[in-house]
Amino acid sequence: MPYIELRRIEKAYRKRSIEIPVLTGLDVSIERGEFVALMGPSGSGKTTLLNLIGGLDTATAGTIRVGESDLHEMSERQLTAWRSRHVGFIFQMYHLLPVLTAAQNVELPLMLFRMGGRERAERVRLALSVVGLEDRADHKPSQLSGGQEQRVAIARAIVTDPDLLLADEPTGDLDAASAHDVLMLLERLNKEFGKTIIMVTHDQQAAAHAGRIIHLEKGALFAHATKAEAAVTY
């Protein structure tokens, strides 16, 4: 059975009396340990799909299963608890708190768990060491480059040791060198640590770091390809 399975997914938003469809009859399966890129033009439903998989939004119709969990059957409280244990989110704009140090930003997700200060500190140290920023632990975001800020955000996403990482345009605000560093870090998290990664991107070069590309058009699956096939197809 696939690790992530979406069947007959419909998603629509209502604006006044008008219903606006975003996803239409979507079927997607993703295996545990895959690195998948979601591509498509603006408005194709990429971020909506990412939010559905991460339990940040609910489908209008259809079923979503991640591991042993049926997201459609969960209450909001259950979804919050599930996300905190199983999902790490990485955003384009980092969302670091400017008044906190890198270490304090990374520590925030651990506040939802019962654990002592020593264990929290060790987890933060390990997460920062994985992203190569252990020596920047006491720096605030204003003292870091954009690439370093994104790596802190990735450390925050992995500090709870989630199974699944969801990245929405993680390199969209970075220069080419910093973007490459972040993408290589995501590859390492996938290959060495076995994280399942789903990344929304407009950038074909970024998508090339994934093992498979899923292309959406107008809320429906348009095409999908392995990395080797994508080199020819796109």
Give the CATH number, domain containing residue 97.
Answer: 3.40.50.300
Strand 61-66 with 220-226, pairing: unpaired
Could you read off the pLDDT of 185-203 as tens digits, one per residue?
999 999 999 999 999 999 9
Region 42-57: mean pLDDT is 92
- The pLDDT confidence band at residue 7, using thresholds 50, 70 and 90, is very high
Range of the domain at 123: 4-233
What percent of the chain has a predicted confidence (pLDDT) above 90? 78
Question: In the chain, how many domains are there?
Answer: 1
SS3 string, 139-183, reads: CCHHHCCHHHHHHHHHHHHHCCCCCEEEEECCCCCCCHHHHHHHH
Could you read off the pLDDT of 137-158 as tens digits, one per residue?
999 999 999 999 999 999 999 9
What does the alpha-carbon distance between residue 65 and residue 42 come to, in Å, rounded to a whole number? 26
Nearest to 208 by CA among 177, 180, 174: 180
Region 96-102: mean pLDDT is 97
pLDDT score for 234: 43
What does the alpha-carbon distance between residue 26 and residue 50 come to, in Å, rounded to a whole number? 13
pLDDT score for 229: 56
What does the alpha-carbon distance between residue 93 and residue 105 come to, in Å, rounded to a whole number? 14
